[in-house]
Structure 1
């Protein structure tokens, strides 16, 4: 198999297969098709080889990755699991297994981005867009035309092109970038310096007339920099000081101050595959490249860096990945980069997604993807996250759904309200404003009103909050027992654990200002009758004091101690009972009373 001549190699192996099954030829054809990003053809040939003998090691790993690219996560996971024992570097496979198992998470916030294709008629492929003058600069290839072709895929060599942005966001007619940037072989991707006067770009390693190849007969990629001339063209490009015939250096990006150059390389000292590296300009020249380390780089490939402020965007076949190259974002926090985050669907797909550029507000931009079969350009707009509250309103006593409940969403920051009603099944679904505190209030005839706090502050992703509501019937004849109100022996002070429950009662009382409430305290039958009346009255008044201090209207609440006069079971004086039975009688409860039944307020 001639090195890099994958189109010819695929054709050769397929001619061999025309004469009958051959596992070696099927694997060769699969590898050649995969290298050209022809996933369907590659899958067919891997399947042929698998039918003859189960794949293992790197072949199973590559087939598994390929099936991820085709969206077949179940079979991809099985192949990746099979590949692990025979792989020299297992972590990438293990990470991809996790990605297969949790692939649904990539689609969890798909409304966050709006993605649209940008049409460029006449180009076979286009990728890595970057702002340039009145439009975009990008890397592209024209269809095969019989002239010099790239043996990798049989297409024309890549060049740098420009297309103006038209009103409405479409691209105008594309033209090659002016000057001496484009040559006979590959050029691109590229990056413009912040001052617009330097063009950094990738170019095939050549002597001007033919490709320069290493010991494996591979022509690697080099970095070049061109300077803007007075006539608006780019001058003769100069090579980067750390280019090397033995490995590739390319795909540049610059920090906002132009003093740090990020790029992709497979130079020695990396973590595996292609890594991201950086070089700083010290005012005299560019310092030796430094690997960006294991937070960014994996045993897979990290490529196509771009920067926006303190954020770095790049593509990787590692980390938590949908398949192929996915775009990740990381942020500089002091001297360290944060853990890269997969940008999810629809920015990423199971195919290759790369070359993201965002504007200074990080709300719109461009990127490229092979989701349609070949690399094409796409526009991207960041949508504000959407927040909803949903749930079901039920009767707290019976569990039955409550239809027609009036629900009010209070925007506590703006002071505005939105009202709606629960459906026939008691369910509701309502939008909430971003970065806002809310209070959801439920009202229905015959039920105590109930509210609950909700907030979207600190939420960056679209979220639906579950907000089920259980409404209590108005407790006229049947009081509501307040759970877990305990007192120390012979005491009536409010303990911290009791305060938690009384806080809930305070919310109910303040949610229902039109009602009058009696809070009653009960003891068990142990102890003298008179003593128990005094103790329960002290406990009830202590609870009411607490509620008033926490916002309950003192004119709408009264305290009453019942002692042991109203047991909930037969545990009266001189009747032997268990501790559990006595505990049932020691309780605090509340009910709605008529105003005329209120005791005089002490406040």
Structure 2
């Protein structure tokens, strides 16, 4: 895990509760180092013990944890696996860590297995709930990933830890262990300081220089953020102020927030501690909104749900702060949430181990959170994983973006870097989303030239329209992550429309709009059932009473006859083969007459209507009942023959010469 993230994690939790009694002298010899978070030395000794064949839950816990907090997930997964093989009762938290370690080596199937076990033992834990609510999280992350982004490892990175970028004037400010001097026992790297490096007009960086003034000390400094007027800087430092280094009762030095003021000579001085800092908990990673009225940060102060949570606090005009408030369980989990950032749109970016991700810390986003906080809305803030390439199987954090220059910086300890943590950058590519397709006939699927295609926004406001040519092709450029409605229409056709939400990646959206003729030319001898797509009129077996569903269809025939007063039709009724032929002929005639009478009763002149029953003489399938035809037809197949037809015998003076 990255440097500062490790510092925060170990100061946020009294690591793994009490360390169990050691199994031999060598384990005891590193007990103090383990408690003091000097994991490099610890893991070496514990590994030597384990390699000699010693086995115990305590040994495997310490060894796995040592690798886990060095972010050596392959080794961590190995020793957590050995711990699980002991089949002893362990804290469910080890199931969660084992799942993360497996995810860190891209064993997602194994990770999911142990997350389910973790959830079984801690069903109320938000991390397990988040996993179960989105078991298919990997496919969701893939959908949010961007293949058009190419990340670059900054030239300013060293073989040591460099991370946590923010912009200030024409420079970027970041944390680095490059300063030399005394080393931090955890990772044997020098303590962190804040550095600034100027960027020239061509986008190249110069030499990194330590931030001038009283900010940097012999202990850790990181995560700076500047007020909109440039007068204040908030940053993270160990509990070290005015040459006093303070630890809590357990001997842990916590992280705290400090505020520096810009002096006339351009240095940062007049260092003040934030009033809600405490010797008993950590406060770190400040982030300001666009107006500088809200400060977001990470802490394990009372009211925290997990190892660290994201909080928000009002910023007064003089740079002092109000009282902090936890952002709630839609943002925070029992895991680690840290490194918040608010862009100029008010979107929150932060890193978390508690929500389903690709491994380690993943970067998540909650759109419009700052506005919701200002409005005092409830604490239901939807989040989403930002996907690859920002997120990886390792730790990804410290996200920062400039929406004007389209430049993004983030930090990661992924494979292929120069040091333990590196700063990466990319330019947000312009998304080119195209919705395109054709307009076709619903029934024949032939192209429909001359149709009009209209694009609407989610509120139904027209954005643009186009009339398609001979190829019936349309295309519109659309914005990412927005809802649209697209409609095709043409005179004498019914319209077709589709609602869709655009993705957050470059791709073409293809669709076919199917419209149907609403008015067709009709001629004598045409069957209204076919011309106007009027379904067959069905009757129940051995009945001539018009069913309710049949009445609905006859109403369509009635509407056509009313619209065309010169139209005459012949109603032809049919039965299936079951029953005597003479009986069927009489039954079908009753059905035809019943249909005719219904139309007369509803206003159609009797002399426009003829009706006749044909019995079983005109079957539409092979469901005959002759002894030689043992078809074993189903009831549904027989019903196809119990039908009525509506043949136009004349219209507008033209007659049908069809032979019956």
Shorter-chain TM-score bucket reads 0.7 to 0.9
Contact 1:367/1:379 (<8 A) preserved: no
CA–CA separation in structure 2 for the residues paired with 1:520 and 1:364: 73
Alignment partner, residue 318 of structure 1:
354
TM-superposition CA deviations, 1:258-308 (whole Å, max 9, x none): 222221111122212101222224557422222222232222222111112
The answer as to 2:305 corresponding to 1:263 is no
Shift of 1:224: 0.6
How far 1:325 sits from its partner (Å)?
1.8
1:111 alignment partner, SS class: coil
Aligned to 2:386: 343
CA distance in 2, matches of 1:197, 1:496: 78
Deviations 1:523-565 (A, max 9, x none): 7456586885686699999xxxxxxxxxxxxxxxxxx988668
Answer whether contact 1:482 1:589 (CA < 8 A) is retained: no
- Cα RMSD over matched residues? 5.0
1:494–1:342: structure 2 CA closer, same or farther, 3 Å change rule? farther
**Alpha-carbon deviation of 1:109?**
3.1
Tell me the distance in 2 between the aligned counterparts of 1:531 and 1:87.
70
Deviations 1:310-361 (A, max 9, x none): 3222222223433322222222333225322222333323322222223356
- Greater shift, 179-188 or 159-168, is seen at 159-168
Question: 1:72 is matched with which residue: 107, 112, 116?
Answer: 107
For 1:497 and 1:103, the matched residues in 2 are separated by 53
Q: Give TM-score, length-normalised by structure 2.
A: 0.67
1:38 to 1:437, Cα distance in 2 relative to 1, 3 A: same
Contact map agreement 2:157 2:422 (CA 8 A) in 1? no
After TM superposition, give the deviation of residue 118 of structure 1 in Å.
3.5
Residue 303 in 1 paired to residue 338 in 2?
yes
Residue 425 (structure 1) aligns with:
none
SS at match of 2:270: coil
The partner residue of 1:375 within 421, 425, 430 is 421
Q: Distance in 1 between matches of 2:399 and 2:570?
A: 66
Which consecutive unaligned segments of at least 5 residues does structure 2 have?
A: 1-30, 456-463, 539-544, 560-566, 574-587, 621-634
**Separation in 1, partners of 2:315, 2:104:** 39
Match of 2:67 among 33, 36, 46: 33
State the shift of 1:408 in Å.
9.6
Task: Mark the CA change 1:296 to 1:253 in structure 2 (over 3 Å): closer, same or farther.
Answer: same
* Structure-2 residue corresponding to 1:412: 454
Do the aligned partners of residues 192 and 281 (structure 1) sit closer, same or farther apart at CA in structure 2, a change above 3 Å counting? Answer: closer
Match of 1:482 in 2: 533
Unmatched tracts of structure 1, length 5 or more: 423-428, 443-447, 503-517, 542-559, 573-577
- Answering whether residue 221 of structure 2 is matched by residue 187 of structure 1, we say yes
Q: Distance in 2 between matches of 1:339 and 1:240?
A: 30
**Deviation by residue 1:58-89 (Cα, 9 ceiling, x = unmatched):** 22221111212222111011122233454596
CA deviations over 1:172-200 (Å, ceiling 9, x no partner): 43222222212111111111111111100
* 1:6 aligns to 2:6 (yes or no): no
Instruction: State how 1:158-557 maps to structure 2 within 5 Å.
Output: 158-167=192-201, 169-207=203-241, 211-282=245-316, 285-308=320-343, 309-330=345-366, 331=369, 332-333=371-372, 334-336=375-377, 337=379, 338-360=381-403, 364-372=407-415, 374-377=420-423, 378-381=425-428, 383-384=430-431, 386=433, 412-413=454-455, 414-416=464-466, 433-434=477-478, 438=486, 452-456=496-500, 459=502, 461=504, 467=511, 479=530, 482=533, 524=573, 525=588, 532=595
Rounded Cα–Cα distance in structure 2 between residues aligned with 1:36 and 1:439: 56
Number of residue pairs the alignment of both structures matches = 539
User: Where does residue 111 of structure 1 map in the other structure?
Assistant: 146
SS in structure 1 of the partner of residue 115 of structure 2: helix
CA distance in structure 1 between the partners assigned to 2:238 and 2:439 by the alignment = 63
Distance in 1 (CA, whole Å) between partners of 2:109 and 2:647 is 55
